[in-house]
């Protein structure tokens, strides 16, 4: 479904501040697969998401969705295929528009737009029906502006918006990191429900090792722009957080030793 082939991204190439953010990532996701991604700061996690979403054209490599090469597609064109939820609850929505208006725009993302009533009565009812199961009372606040919502309410709404157009791929970029622990748990429950009900193919970045093991069917570890561990469901079942940390430490130490070896041979 999603295929990344030898993906590289270098920023400021040839300059003193050159950064090789992605270094030959090869990855294949099957349809309906839910993959969690971990890695230290600077490992390339957000850069990977930005490349998939179309914020830039990668230096080298290809990105395919359902066999179609989208590597050169602009971000707005990919938006019809990819839903994304950011770490900041205030990204991804129009603060001065109402809940109903924001969700209506998300619902129409893959349709040809024209002049029509923005939020019809039948659509309002459909939106209320979508919001009611998450249990945050948003179905009673369709006329409220989004900037009146709490971070958790806004993130829940953004998650629903990202899934309304039935995207081929859902990207969750540490979408609970800015929330308090109780709210984060609730958003993760909603996330799991939405993904299962809509059978979405999903990539989720997290810094929480327990989340990385508890959610999804597979866990990737990035380090220095490479996928250094790919842990399938069978192996994850018996893996503890400490075991995952140990694997992470071992990989980082091996990478450091390899770098030192390269330097010593120059």
Can you give the pLDDT at residue 32? 95
Instruction: State yes or no: pLDDT of 12 exceeds 50.
Output: yes
Q: Hey, which residues does 212 pair with through a beta bridge?
A: none
- Say which CATH number the domain at 216 has: 3.40.50.300
Give mean pLDDT, residues 223-237: 90
In 33-147, the DSSP E strands lie at: 34-38, 60-65, 68-69, 82-85
pTM of the model: 0.90
Distance CA 238, CA 31 (A): 25
Residue for token digits 């929480």? 208
Q: What are the tens digits of pLDDT across the range 57-96?
A: 999 999 999 999 999 999 989 988 999 999 998 888 889 9
* pLDDT greater than 60 at residue 243: yes
Using a 10 angstrom Cβ sphere, with 0-12 exposed, 13-18 middle and 19 or more buried, the burial of residue 106 is buried
Residue 257 structure tokens: 């030793």
Domain count, the chain: 1
Q: Which residue range(s) make up the domain with 67?
A: 2-264
Q: Average pLDDT in the 16-36 region? A: 95
Q: Are strands 34-38 and 202-205 parallel, antiparallel or unpaired?
A: parallel
**pLDDT tens by residue, 143-177:** 999 999 999 999 999 999 999 888 999 999 999 99
pLDDT at 121: 79
């Amino acid at each position: 479904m999603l295929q990344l082939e030898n993906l590289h991204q270098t920023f400021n190439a040839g300059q003193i501040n050159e950064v090789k953010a992605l270094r030959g990532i090869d990855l294949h996701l099957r349809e309906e697969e839910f993959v969690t991604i971990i890695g230290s700061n600077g490992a390339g996690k957000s850069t990977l998401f930005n490349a998939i979403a179309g914020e830039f054209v990668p230096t080298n490599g290809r990105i395919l969705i359902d066999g179609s090469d989208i590597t050169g597609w602009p971000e707005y064109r990919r938006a019809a295929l990819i839903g994304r939820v950011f770490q900041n609850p205030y990204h991804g929505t129009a603060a001065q528009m109402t809940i109903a208006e924001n969700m209506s725009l998300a619902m129409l993302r893959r349709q040809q737009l024209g002049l029509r009533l923005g939020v019809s009565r039948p659509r309002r009812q459909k939106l209320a029906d979508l919001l009611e199961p998450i249990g945050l009372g948003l179905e009673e606040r369709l006329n409220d502006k989004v900037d009146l919502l709490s971070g958790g309410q806004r993130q829940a709404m953004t998650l629903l918006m990202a899934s309304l157009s039935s995207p081929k791929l859902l990207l969750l970029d540490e979408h609970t990191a800015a929330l308090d622990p109780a709210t984060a748990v609730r958003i993760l429950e909603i996330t799991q429900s939405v993904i299962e009900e809509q059978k979405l193919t999903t990539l989720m970045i997290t810094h929480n090792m327990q989340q990385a093991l508890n959610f999804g069917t597979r866990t990737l570890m990035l380090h220095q722009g490479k996928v250094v561990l790919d842990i399938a469901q069978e192996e994850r079942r018996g893996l503890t957080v400490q075991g995952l940390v140990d694997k992470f430490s071992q990989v980082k130490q091996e990478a450091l030793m390899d770098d030192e070896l390269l330097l010593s041979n120059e």
